[in-house]
Amino acid sequence: MTTSPKFRIRDAGAVEGDDQFVVAAFDAVIPYLTSIGSHEQWGTIPFSHREGWVDETVQQIEDSSKSSAFQGDQNKNGVLRIFIVEKECNADGPEYFDRPLAHYRVSSDRRRYLSVGFAFVRENWIPGYIESQKHLQILEAERENNIYLEVMVTDCRVGSLRHGAGSALIQGIRDYGRKKQKKAFCLDGWAGNDKKLVQ
């Protein structure tokens, strides 16, 4: 799945170390959220320090990678798909990045793609905490035929190289939903801290 000349979207699990990238990016977002006053969203403890979280996340990436091999009805009803957004980078130019902190791949034509974010996506699924909000009117057609963007994170460690990655992810996931003829695209966004994360 492509989005723009700058960004590409691919399935998580396709490149060695994707699991480590997702864990590290989740950890890196905690100080950022704290810095903008949004620490109540996910707390202040790094995800990797939470009991069982790393194992669960690695398993989710493995399961997502397996489900991406199926193009039919197997990817319905809440099955998690994880997508990674990458930015093409020139290793010798001004976009040079610190290798120990970077997760990148080199394509067959020798282009370098730096992982800059990811998204957790489900089909035909509404989480229980949304279902319990009786004031939200979700049409039955939308409930049964949707793409649900559950989590989206860009990697704070790569600085300005991540700019535009969120938009690219959203566009790529919308395109994915259109290809699968979904009727609704739902986004989950934390509304705390005066909605700073969703503005």
Domain locations in the chain as residue ranges: 7-195
Interval 1-16: pLDDT, tens: 655 568 999 999 999 9
pLDDT-derived band at 123 (thresholds 50, 70, 90) equals: very high
DSSP 110-141: S-EEEEEEEEEEEES---HHHHT-TTS---HH
Residue 150: what pLDDT? 95
Considering the chain, what percentage of its residues have pLDDT values greater than 90? 58
What end-to-end distance do the CA atoms of the chain give, in Å? 26
CA distances to 39, 86, 186 from 18, rounded to whole Å, are 25, 12, 25
CB atoms within 10 A of CB 29: 21
Q: What is the pLDDT of residues 144-197, one digit of tens each?
A: 899 999 999 999 999 888 999 999 999 999 999 999 999 999 988 888 888 777
Q: Work out the pLDDT band at 93, boundaries 50, 70, 90.
A: very low
H/E run at residue 173: helix 165-179
Is a pLDDT exceeding 80 seen at residue 100? no
Q: What is the mean pLDDT of residues 56-76?
A: 79
Residue carrying the six token digits 């989005």: 3
Residue 99 has pLDDT above 80, yes or no: no
CATH architecture of residue range(s) 7-195: 3-Layer(aba) Sandwich (3.40)
More confident residue, 92 or 177: 177
Bridge partners of residue 88, in order along the sequence: 113
pTM, entire model:
0.88
- 119 pLDDT exceeds 70? yes
Cβ–Cβ under 8 Å, residues 68 and 1: no
